[in-house]
Structure 1
Amino acid sequence: MHAATPSTPLGSHPAPRLTPVAAAALTADLADLPYTAESVEALLGPVAADSLARERPEAARLAVARARDVEGLEDEATGHDDDAALPRSAHRPLAALVGAWMLGDPVPASDLAAALPRTGLPGALAAGLVVEAGEGLVRGTVELTPYEVDEPGRMWVAADQTALQRRGPLPEDHVLGIGRASLTLAGATQRRPVGRALDVGTGCGIQTLHLLAHAEHVTATDLSERALEFTRFNLLLNAEELGLDRERIEDRVRLLAGDMLAPVAGERFDLVVSNPPFVITPRTDPDAPVLTYRDGGREGDRIVAELIAALPDHLTEGGTAQLLANWEIPAEGDGAAAWDARPRSWIAPGVQAWIIQRDSQDPAGYAETWLRDSSLELDPHAYEAAYRGYLEDFVARGVSGVGFGHVWLRRPAADGSQGRGWTVAEELTQPVDEALGAAWAAAVARRDRLAVVPDRAGGVSGDVVGDPALTALRSLHLRVADDVTEERHQRFGAEHPEVILARQGGGFRRTARLDTATAGVLSASDGELSVGQLVGAVVALLELDDAGRAGLLAALRELYEDGFLVEGA
């Protein structure tokens, strides 16, 4: 996922491999045990499970050690009272899988064999999932964890061991597992049935697993051959849940090695997703290690700039792309320039783009985040040198901060049914729904609705006097969305509220400040009257002039586009 192929560091295990027959056996073993998130929490208890999620393994190790003593195990020994989700007979075998694949600890070979009766110890060794550790013990070589989502369903995902499991910094060719960024992108992706989808920089294949739930065919690319091997392993392991034929995976999935979009030159897709190697890393030291999964091998934010600029040429008409990204915020005078200056400059003419900044960091904070991510603090001298390198690089290039967020792109349909090119850039620092995709798709659909203006013949016309979007808005019958609530604030004894707020309880969870006119329209918006009729009534009641009417319509357009108002009875 960067320009130069990294060297293979000492201590990296080969990526695991499965035959179709071995994959079916392993899937059955994991399902029968069962090796699920619910069962793991039942074994560990909620406190230990939460600690492990924070990469603190001590409580989990204690729970696993207790679970090995099955004969004398009492309910309270597990650290919780409710063992109903986990049969007593599963404690010891499950503890072996948790120990080997989630903690990276040596476990009794006999326990692992008992957990995987069809696969057996020889099968686990042959697949590269464990290695012998002497004295009747085996040690896991991968992180293999349960992964459960509404769609596609219950799965398992293999990746390289984490720094916690390795007890040391990550190697250059590390293949990342299920991380926060992966989950963020999966939740934000606007799911719709598509013919051809593309996953750029697939890693261990998380986005590809999600795409297969609604795409007829998925192409996954990555510069790292190791990453593609992990993706293939995960596809074979979860083939039944994904609706794949293990003997013919290639019928629905194509795995291509290469840098970013190079493997699909000249091809177009209905949907592209990417969690690219967007981390900004100093390039001043040519011998500094480059972590393939996160470092794009370019200076600054160039890899994201190149990807965003190139993506429209790989989209079909109406095709969309969604990615996570970092962008540099340049210094300007004594402060910083607008955060969206750089990402806006990357958008090609005629393309529709929606850029959301979720967080920003100063150079020091950014360096600390990514040095901690690679566990470089375990080597104090290397940590200090790398930290200094980050700060010197940002100063030399005039960078005052780094933004992080989402980028959505669309190549609009040529018939104008989706409007023309536009760019929205907004900063959303409040909590938002993890599954943001549905709300985002609805927001895009509302923008499309305002781009289409019915003419008297029932067709579509863009030649309307005034703003066509406002003409469309006037004809809509809208109601306040179900998740929107009203807040009014006033001083004690005041006759009227000084502040009126509308708050969304879901989706983007925006807050809008209303004036008397907009609050009046929202109060009456139950879908019976059109926006035009409601505006006419409020204008007459409040005796607004033409400027007031125009301002009210503009405010209502924004409230509609942002989802405070929706169509329907």
Structure 2
Amino acid sequence: MPGSPYEFTAGNTADAPRSDLPALLSTLAADLRGLDYTLDGVARLLGPAASAALNRDQIIPAVLAVEHAVRADNGTAPLAAVVRLWLLAEPQEKETLDAALPGTGADGLLELGLVQPVPGSGLLTAKADLRPYGWDKNEDGSGGAELWVASDLAAHQQAGMLRHDHVLGIGQASTTLVQTTIRRHTGRALDLGTGCGIQAFHLLHHCQHVTATDISERALAYARFNILLNAEALSVDPDHLEDRVSLRLGSLLEPVAGEEFGLVVSNPPFVITPRSPGEDAADQFTYRDGGLPGDGIVASLVAALPGVLEPGGWAQMLGNWEVAAGSSWEERPKSWVRQGTDAWFIQREEVSPEQYAETWLRDASESRDRQHYREAYAQYLADFGSRDVAGIGFGMVWLRRPADGRAAAISRFEEITYPIEQPIGPHLGAAVERADWLAAHDLAATHLLVAGDVTEERHQRPGAEHPGVILLRQGAGLRRTTLMSTELAGFVSACDGDLTAGQIAGALEALLGGGEGFDAGTFQGALLADVANLVRDGFLVPAGNPALE
């Protein structure tokens, strides 16, 4: 929407890297590529153990690995200097950076706002974090990317608490949303609460145009810097950024009011934070705190997001929700969903108020001041206690506006806390397709097959004639396990594509019809309802339809 009052175009925001120097950004990208400052290049320099430790924000193994590489004098000194500067936050000599990044040089880094002088030392230190990021190519060789992401220095790279307008880098929540998102081509996509731009990077690979919003001007400045630094890899023309990207400054859905999108993704500031009388935005950590009491930020988005979706469009987000004492976790999320909206919530974790407080106080390094930590911890517990909160859930949310003329077909609220396959997005997409298929087809007339990743497991006591427990297990996707009755197990064993589901159910009815307690009037209907659940969850798939697997 050209000319929007929310449009963000500034390239020289205070305390954020400059994005108004496209030629210098192009030179920096070439320097970084020439150094092999990539995920694989850094991994080779550090080795597996130090790389894994660095991913946990533990830098000492990486410090030792870099020292060893430099002593070995194996030509890695330039890469080591850049790793030390940005990943380990170790000041470097100007001459060292000039040699490592010959096109950009130390002066170029200073001009871009990526480094700053260390007073009285002649050294330069990182002013921002800049690290490699990317993803592998698809099996057909398409879709891979090698990028770099700038963000504020993390807690392990600096002293003291984080600034309240801290711009988060590549965090666990952002990668979780990346892995969860169902990828499909769409004309217009929305990244709500873009931060430094991670979700927008991925959207640009399968969407024609991306609108990225944030309430933080610094976050948008970082996102703009990152998009232009990676312009070539993201197929963005720096001179015509608006052709593919629109950056909007504003709260929640205000910057896109009246617009519709085929896909919306959001890693919103969902952290539940105690509210204080008289507080303002400067008192809040904007990257995680939406400013509303309790889980209000997630509740408001679940209710409002369908309003910016085009018919058939969907939204995916992460969120926290409060679980009141004596209630089930899904009670509150169910109340947020707008009537007529497809919805799928998967709770991945539930923690106590104490665990929640500890996690988020540690996240912002608020535990470094003992008195502040004690007071803040008490505020969390008092806040949760005021609403009788016994637990806080975290999970994934999928919402869809049904296509014109179609009723909502999906309403699922489930808890899956065990490890699942990643990325899970393709499997969630296939599950949605299966639900839509079930709503549109006659299951009884369908030929079914057992999915390729499914195995059967039987348990029986020694000497027993028949198994007491029969389980189906998935080896991929959500890796579900389901308990089966004897008749359902018999049905699945016959799913080789030769007979229709109705024919198999009829044969089982004839076989079991004389059994004790058998109800001929309800047998087939109940059995096919159970079969529909197996199709919905991917244990069984329609023959000849690989898109549903």
TM norm. shorter chain > 0.5? yes
Match of 1:146 in 2: 132
Quote how far apart the aligned CAs of 1:495 are: 2.1
Q: Is the 8 A contact 1:204 1:234 kept in 2?
A: yes
Find the partner of 2:312 among 313, 318, 324. 318
Match of 1:519 in 2: 489
Match of 1:14 in 2: 16
Q: Is the 8 A contact 1:318 1:411 kept in 2?
A: yes
Write out aligned runs for 1:128-167 (5 A).
Answer: 128-133=113-118, 134-150=120-136, 151-167=143-159
User: Which digits, 9 at most, give the CA deviation of each residue in 1:74-104, with x for residues without a partner?
Assistant: xxxxxxxxxxxxxx32x11111111111111
Distance (Å, rounded) in 2 between the aligned partners of 1:362 and 1:506: 30
Quote how far apart the aligned CAs of 1:285 are: 5.3
Q: Is the 8 A contact 1:197 1:215 kept in 2?
A: yes
Query: Which segment drifts farther, 304-313 or 251-260?
Result: 304-313
* Paired residue total: 517
Quote how far apart the aligned CAs of 1:34 are: 0.4
Quote how far apart the aligned CAs of 1:421 are: 5.4
Q: Which amino acid aligns with 1:304?
A: V
Find the partner of 1:295 among 270, 289, 294. 289
Distance (Å, rounded) in 2 between the aligned partners of 1:147 and 1:237: 12
Quote how far apart the aligned CAs of 1:259 are: 0.3
Q: Is the 8 A contact 2:231 2:237 kept in 1?
A: yes
Q: Which amino acid aligns with 1:350?
A: G
User: Which digits, 9 at most, give the CA deviation of each residue in 1:105-145, with x for residues without a partner?
Assistant: 11222222222111111111111111122544211111111
Q: Which amino acid aligns with 1:238?
A: N
Distance (Å, rounded) in 1 between the aligned partners of 2:232 and 2:324: 49
Match of 1:550 in 2: 525
Find the partner of 1:397 among 387, 400, 404. 387
Quote how far apart the aligned CAs of 1:346 are: 0.7
Q: Which amino acid aligns with 2:304?
A: A
Q: Is the 8 A contact 1:152 1:209 kept in 2?
A: no
User: Which digits, 9 at most, give the CA deviation of each residue in 1:495-530, with x for residues without a partner?
Assistant: 221111111111111101111111111112122221
Quote how far apart the aligned CAs of 1:312 are: 0.9
Q: Is the 8 A contact 1:350 1:422 kept in 2?
A: no
Q: Does 1:262 align with 2:254?
A: yes
Q: Is the 8 A contact 2:409 2:439 kept in 1?
A: no
Q: Does 1:505 align with 2:495?
A: no
Question: Secondary structure of the residue that 1:21 maps to in structure 2?
Answer: helix
Distance (Å, rounded) in 1 between the aligned partners of 2:206 and 2:238: 19
User: Which digits, 9 at most, give the CA deviation of each residue in 1:179-224, with x for residues without a partner?
Assistant: 1110111111111110110010000000000101111100000000
Structure 1: segments with no counterpart, 5+ residues: 1-11, 74-87, 454-471
Distance (Å, rounded) in 1 between the aligned partners of 2:285 and 2:511: 64
Match of 1:563 in 2: 538
Quote how far apart the aligned CAs of 1:286 are: 4.1
Find the partner of 2:194 among 194, 202, 208. 202
Write out aligned runs for 1:328-407 (5 A).
Answer: 328-331=322-325, 336-407=326-397
Distance (Å, rounded) in 2 between the aligned partners of 1:546 and 1:240: 65
Quote how far apart the aligned CAs of 1:431 are: 0.9
Quote how far apart the aligned CAs of 1:15 are: 3.5
Change (3 A) 1:20 1:568: farther
Distance (Å, rounded) in 1 between the aligned partners of 2:230 and 2:521: 61
Match of 1:30 in 2: 32
Quote how far apart the aligned CAs of 1:148 are: 1.8
Q: Which amino acid aligns with 2:311?
A: E
Q: TM-score, normalising length from structure 2?
A: 0.91
Structure 2: segments with no counterpart, 5+ residues: 1-13, 137-142, 545-549
Find the partner of 1:305 among 299, 314, 318. 299
Q: Does 1:190 align with 2:176?
A: no
Q: Is the 8 A contact 1:209 1:235 kept in 2?
A: yes
Q: Is the 8 A contact 2:420 2:478 kept in 1?
A: yes
User: Identity of paired residues, percent?
Assistant: 51
Quote how far apart the aligned CAs of 1:46 are: 1.6
RMSD (CA atoms): 1.6
Distance (Å, rounded) in 2 between the aligned partners of 1:50 and 1:18: 35
Find the partner of 1:408 among 398, 402, 409. 398
User: Which digits, 9 at most, give the CA deviation of each residue in 1:371-397, with x for residues without a partner?
Assistant: 111111111111111000000111112
Distance (Å, rounded) in 2 between the aligned partners of 1:65 and 1:347: 54
Match of 1:463 in 2: none
Query: Which segment drifts farther, 432-441 or 283-292?
Result: 283-292
Quote how far apart the aligned CAs of 1:415 are: 2.5
Match of 1:248 in 2: 240
Q: Which amino acid aligns with 1:191?
A: R
Question: Secondary structure of the residue that 2:470 maps to in structure 1?
Answer: strand
Match of 2:88 in 1: 103
Question: Secondary structure of the residue that 2:404 maps to in structure 1?
Answer: coil
Match of 2:437 in 1: 449
Match of 1:435 in 2: 423
Question: Secondary structure of the residue that 1:239 maps to in structure 2?
Answer: coil
Match of 1:460 in 2: none
Runs (4 or more) in structure 1 with deviation over 6 Å come to none
Match of 1:424 in 2: 412
Distance (Å, rounded) in 2 between the aligned partners of 1:524 and 1:16: 64
Q: Is the 8 A contact 2:15 2:218 kept in 1?
A: no
Q: Which amino acid aligns with 2:44?
A: A
Distance (Å, rounded) in 1 between the aligned partners of 2:205 and 2:275: 39
Q: TM-score, normalising length from structure 1?
A: 0.88
Match of 1:7 in 2: none
